[in-house]
Amino acid sequence: MMKPNWVTWLVRAGIAALAACVALAFGIFLGQCLYWLRFGRWPDWALYSDHAIPGSGLSGEHWRGAQKLIEWLTTAPVELATFVAGVTLVALYIWLRISARR
């Protein structure tokens, strides 16, 4: 039994809308990460009294979040090594589980 043409178009529009929502959410998350890298704090959209982005003169300021990240990478070798080892072990476990199914 074939579906009517309008059902096909409706399904395609729903899939396109879902993909657009996912892309929008990813863009918002990326924008928040860039905001943190630039200003060193996460944007608080709930504050109605302060609508201005801090550091209106962007040319003379440093990237505070990026500096915090670099300081963490250079001053925390044990924590970083533990994190990398954990992520590596999880990735290895997933890879072995997937390859065992083949």
What residue ranges do the domains of the chain occupy? 1-44, 62-102
Across the range 11-21, mean pLDDT stands at 92
- The amino acid that residue 48 corresponds to is Y
pLDDT over 60 (residue 54): no
3-state SS, residue 41: coil
Tens of pLDDT, residue by residue over 29-40, are 888 888 888 877
Quick check: 42 and 68 in contact, CB under 8 A? no
